[in-house]
A and B are shown apart, each in its own frame.
Chain A
Amino acid sequence: MSQTLAAENREVPDTRSGASEQPLVQVQDLARYFDVSPPWLNRILENEPRSILKAVDGVSFDIPRGKTFSLVGESGCGKSTVARLVVGLYQPTRGTIHFEGVDMATLKTRKQQAPVRRRFQMIFQDPFASLNPRWRVAEIIAEPIRAHGIMSDDGQIRRRVGELLEQVRLSARDGEKFPHEFSGGQRQRISIARALASNPEFLVCDEPTSALDVSVQAQILNLMKELQKELGLTYLFISHDLAVVYHISDYVGVMYLGRLVEWGEARRVFFNPQHPYTRMLLDAIPDLEMTGRQRIPVAGEVPSPIHPPSGCHFHPRCPFANDRCRSETPQTRDFGEGGQVRCHAVEEGRLPPPGESGALTAGRDLNE
């Protein structure tokens, strides 16, 4: 179904050994359903059916080594669930995750998983909840080192923790403090240091800057980019902020109610958006340049993911929806300029060009 990203974007030069290299992470038809039914007795008494929340429903994408793939979407679209599936916090209902060609589902025991687990880590959204308040910072950062038996000598570990703290631009002496002595931005740095402690190659970042102020967000985004260059890291970046996503990503996927509706190379998605939802999201970004552009606010709101609309989930809000959209679920199709789109209208070629539908008329930036 999904060809590899790298194969489709041969024109994008790869910083490493070449575009034909196997993607570091491959996600195939990933799905996760949650049973959100009321308790058994209530169902019987109130005659309610079981209700299944399809948080993620058939998501496929690849992440080439050393690149950043971002998932963007509104609340309830399932982007955070994808992040948690990829790091193994949830078990998939369907689909596979390959890490360097190894199917994660074949690793059953903790022992088998350990060598792979060491190579990916996660950074969380809330810097105030992601550090154990009772532990000193040095112990927090040392935990992955000890857990994976990377080092055993205490002095060695202490030196490594000091290095890690300096790598995220803190002082080695901050290790003896407790998390509450730090600001939000500093805690997020500690979080990053902990994630780097096991020398991972792949970091899953779940809204790492959403809880931070803009000036601190800039610091963290800069740090993440620097670390990516220094250490050759691969990122899966989850965010609802399109501007942040534009800044950090090589590839972007747009999710809506559990489905990936469009993905591709970042500049392509931002300057030549295909799916009406992508266009709508781009149009909703406040205009900081004050060009006086009249934004067309999007109609309607995100429907409940428990009872999503039939056919294409987006049809009630889509100005281009027709009967086919209301009844038939669109399939993912390869898009000429790279990436994929899941939309009947795009497939049938009945959408106006992006600029005319009110989306960012930023083609000029591309042509310059």
Chain B
Amino acid sequence: MAEMAREPSQQPTAPELTLVGKVVDGWSRFLDSDVFYSFKRSPLIIVAFAVTVLLILGAFLAPWIAPHDTTNMASLNLMDAFKPPAWSVGGDGSFLLGTDDQGRDMLSGIMFGMQASLVIGFASVALAAIVGTILGLISGYVGGRVDSVIMRVADVQLTFPAILIALLIDGIVGSVLPRNTAEELTYPVLILAIASSLWVNFARTVRGSTLVEKNREYVQAAKVIGIHPTLIMVRHVLPNVMGPVLVIATLSLALAILTEATLSFLGVGIPSSEPSLGTLIRIGQEYLFSGEWWMTIFPGIALVILVLAVNLLGDWLRDALNPKLR
């Protein structure tokens, strides 16, 4: 009803918000948003969110809160090897989930392993999101030949399964570089390998949204004003195509963690001296039939819970950000 409310304005100028004001304002707008409302309303998502946060905290605080330091070879005692979980016969109270073949605590191993998985997951998704978004934005906004080239590259990329690309890159790096350098480069190589299979998704989605947004009238208005195309892309189009990027990033995180685990399981990822969920499962599965089931089952369960929680979050975010589905 305020359309014509010409209240005598005490301040003739539009007030400027301070940084703190902006943050407070942004936070209160978030608490009032439909996304937060839909979050509050679904217990499953609250649980998934809590589990994800717990796992991430556990992984990154591992050096301080893990019961044993599995990265320190000196602290290992081979006498502790093959201990079953604490609650079974022969279990040891200080090794809650048992130990592996070298006497490393499974729980601590999982925590450190998850840290490796998450670091690689976040980094590869971030890389893929940045590259994919930029390429998708350019492809959609500029169009023409640039668009054709980028999208054909993306098409070719899609014909290779993610694992194959990762194996390929890993293989090349492994054979070209000396062994020591290759091992030092394990993380960057894994991140690059996984990101190269993920960027296509970002690029395609961003391109699609950009094609829609660039014909909207606010973009045309910016053109009439005479704004430089790069600025239009960055300041007008980009903020309006970021919603889907967030969704894909979340879903890709689960995929990236799985890919990393798969690669490590196949032995081309992180070397077995450094635990990751994949390497833990690989080492454990050799003992699966000799009775030491905990060595592979617990990292497996951790992986399943992590991926499931992140996926649930991603699915929910997709629905919450898409007003048509609500």
Contact = CB atoms under 8 A, between A and B. Distances in A.
Answer whether A and B touch in the complex at a CB cut-off of 8 Å: yes
Contacts, number: 95
Given A172-B12, A173-B15, A147 B217 contact: no
Interface in B16-37: 16-17
B9 interface: yes
Contact of A147 (B5, B14, B227, B239): B227
A172 B236 contact: no
Interface stretch (B59-67, B119-127, B189-197, B218-226): B218-226
B239 A161 contact: no
A125 interface: yes
B70 to A, nearest CB: 46
A144 interface: yes
Interface in A130-161: 130-134, 138, 143-144, 147-148, 154-155, 158-159, 161
Nearest to A194: B221
A72 interface: no
Give the dominant DSSP class at A's interface.
Answer: helix
Given A165-B14, A171-B9, A144 B225 contact: yes
B3 interface: yes
Contacts of A138: 14
A172 B3 contact: no
A130 B226 contact: no
A136 to B, nearest CB: 9
B184 interface: no
Q: On chain B, which size bracket covers the interface?
A: 20 to 34
B226 A110 contact: yes
A122 B236 contact: no
Contacts of B218: 129-133
B9 A148 contact: no
A123 to B, nearest CB: 9
B300 to A, nearest CB: 43
A185 interface: yes
A165 B4 CA distance: 12
11 contacts: A124-B220, A132-B218, A132-B236, A133-B218, A172-B9, A173-B9, A173-B11, A174-B14, A176-B14, A176-B15, A194-B225
Interface of B: 2-7, 9, 11-17, 216-218, 220-228, 236, 239-240
